[in-house]
Homo-oligomer: A and B are copies of this chain.
């Protein structure tokens, strides 16, 4: 066997059995090794942003990492923006990046680049395999680091390490250490804060937003009067019967307003919320300057366990009451009037199927669905985490592969959707059960708002040419069909309701272009 075979075996024995890929010449021995392992599912993306975004979506829903296969520095580079999102989502992932044979690097051949340099800003761990003999150890390290840190591991595989001979070995799963313990001091401080009568907020992120952790947080909130907020995270359990934490608003003024009353904040997963961008004269930290922040747990901790420990610290029992969403989906009135982001959100909310995965890259078109979510059937919300647009379509790919029995509904803005539109082809090829709703406003609408924020209200030619997506209008139905995905266009809310209902009754990918 060769190094590439060993790499496959180490991945498989650690239960990594999906590889999102776009290979090149330097990875041919790895492709050949994958070809000898039919138990590995290889999924091709026609651009690397699809590959890394799909691996992100997969791990968020499968709760285990996928591998990626990327071709040298440029292939990695194309996937970096969605690695940035994965890094912010704290998604475990093992990127395998092929490189020239070790002895070929000195020639500075055309595809040579500084792969470590490219990988480092978007990875939690970067390592290079030195030779075939080092494949096992280095791959196990990449896997361990991805799981322990909850993050992106990038493993560089030189061609000669892939093709070099290695001795077969008996492999077993990597032993992962227990998550680090929660600090007793912080726990005691958080407990004291909640009992102190000060106005307290618990701010949750990451795995603190799974159903069980939310329920514990809800019990603490009900017992103490603390408020619950959430930060944009890998995924959030939403719907009736679940505890709803209020999202920290994206808008700086609204966020400051929402958090202004608090004297103490207890953070789990994420840190104290900050402005997405800086604006002249506006604050960067969203909590009041004199609000005490207790950073109780990081992403690496057992966040559900940390919440249980906090509940125990203040004497809240596991059967204490909590406030959960009340099911009222059937009472939502059918929208009528104009087709816009609001009416579409209502229509999607009314029809959302049980256990749906709601991918959210709606950007300016998203808010109403979140407001309605506590009354809907239980579902998972999977948003853009790092602000690197162009992940919605790939996230849907990965989520659908992770959870083939669940319907994926992807709310997708048009501007960001175009970044990785190639992912529609993968949806078609893998026959993934995804309904994509394109909120087609023919503009980078968020930027038009930001331009007004900087005082420009009358856009000249250059601003229009950079912020409008019209002339020509994109025809999403043609683009989708060109990649093998069935599609239809809605110009009225009635058409949209009809199309969305039909799309939910069938299996396989479908795209609705909603012209808002």
Q: Residues of A at under 8 Å CB distance from B?
A: 21-26, 28-29, 31-32, 34-38, 40, 42-44, 46-47, 49, 69, 73-75, 77-78, 80-81, 84, 88, 100-101, 103-104, 106-111, 113-115, 117-118, 120-122, 159-160, 163, 232, 271, 274-278, 280, 284-285, 385-388, 390, 415, 418-422, 425, 428-429, 444, 446-447, 450-451, 453-456, 459-463, 465-467, 469, 471-484
Contact = CB atoms under 8 A, between A and B. Distances in A.
B84 A74 contact: yes
- Total copies of this chain within the assembly: 2
B460 A28 contact: no
Nearest to A111: B387
Contacts of A101: 278
- Which 6 pairs across A and B sit closest by C-beta, in order of nearness? A472-B484, A478-B482, A74-B388, A479-B482, A104-B278, A77-B80
Nearest to A387: B111
A210 B386 CA distance: 45
A122 B72 CA distance: 13
Contacts of A471: 429
Contacts of A74: 80-81, 84, 386-388
Contact of A38 (B120, B456, B462): B462
A465 B118 contact: no
30 contacts: A25-B277, A28-B447, A28-B453, A31-B466, A32-B451, A34-B463, A35-B460, A35-B463, A38-B460, A44-B466, A73-B121, A74-B84, A77-B77, A77-B84, A78-B78, A100-B277, A104-B274, A104-B277, A104-B284, A113-B121, A113-B122, A115-B121, A117-B120, A118-B121, A118-B122, A163-B280, A425-B474, A473-B484, A475-B482, A478-B481
A43 B483 CA distance: 26
A110 B250 CA distance: 11
Contacts of A453: 28
B114 A386 contact: no
Contact of A277 (B26, B38, B478): B26
A472 B425 contact: yes
A388 to B, nearest CB: 3
Contacts of A80: 74, 77-78, 80, 118
A47 B418 contact: yes
Nearest to A419: B47
